[in-house]
Amino acid sequence: MNFLILTLGVILWAYSHLMKRVTPIFRASMGDARGKGVAALLALVALGLMILGYRGADVIQLWNPPAFFTHVNNLLMLIAVFLLNLGYVPGLLRSKMRHPMLGAVKVWALAHLVVNGDLASAILFGGILAWAVFDMIKINKMQEWARPAAGPVIYDIGYGIASLGVFGAIAWLHTYLGYWPFG
């Protein structure tokens, strides 16, 4: 049952984020504010289902990742944290990447896939990775990218330093929850 709850959560998550691209008439019929509210509510329900399903799922090991993959995971997570809000930083890198947040989600999901070889992780992180790839492709087909102007690289450096702090906070939270992230 927990695998079903987890799978439904991943599907609902994907739909809540793809609603305006895969069912545009339905989304538009709600109006902008109500449509955003419904999408946000669906995403929150999806998040709850994913947490409930993932935490309650039996461990069914599909593969056993080597221990050094923990270091690969940490490097990928540092990159994901850096990419997460890069689109809002008025530096040089903002003009080089169209989808930094979706890129961050893809790197985050891949990072967790390489260190978790169980079925629940494959469903959760594989499903989120598939959604992010599909969403990126769909956006690229639907609209041209208006490349933002490049800003000073000092903003990227400052953001990189701030990202280290956020990575540290995430590592602390994982440790607090009982998941030692450093091998």
Bridge partner residues of 118 (DSSP): 61
Q: Is the pLDDT of residue 157 over 90?
A: yes
- Residue 112 is predicted with a pLDDT of 95
Neighbours of 27 (CB within 10 A): 19
Supply the DSSP string of 72-97, one letter for each residue: HHHHHHHHHHHHHTGGGS-SSGGGT-
Buried residues in 88-127 as b, exposed as e (16+ CB within 10 A): ebebebbeeeebbebbbbbbbbbbbbbbbbbbbbbbbbbb
Spatial CB neighbours of 41, under 8 Å, sequence gap ≥ 6: none
| Alpha carbon distance 99, 97 (integer Å) | 6
| Alpha carbon distance 151, 179 (integer Å) | 38
Identify which of 17, 147, 163, 153 has the alpha carbon closest to the alpha carbon of residue 85. Answer: 163
pLDDT digits (tens, 9 = 90+) for 109-136: 999 999 999 999 999 999 999 999 999 9
| pLDDT mean across residues, the chain | 94
Q: Is the dihedral of CA 23, 37, 48, 80 positive or negative?
A: positive
Q: Is the pLDDT of residue 183 over 80?
A: no
- Residue 19 is predicted with a pLDDT of 93
- Residue 85 is predicted with a pLDDT of 86
- Residue 141 is predicted with a pLDDT of 93
Q: Are 10 and 128 in contact (CB under 8 A)?
A: yes
pTM summary value: 0.89
Tokens of 12: 């609902």
Q: How confident is the model at residue 178 (pLDDT cuts 50, 70, 90)?
A: confident
pLDDT digits (tens, 9 = 90+) for 28-52: 899 989 999 999 999 999 999 999 9
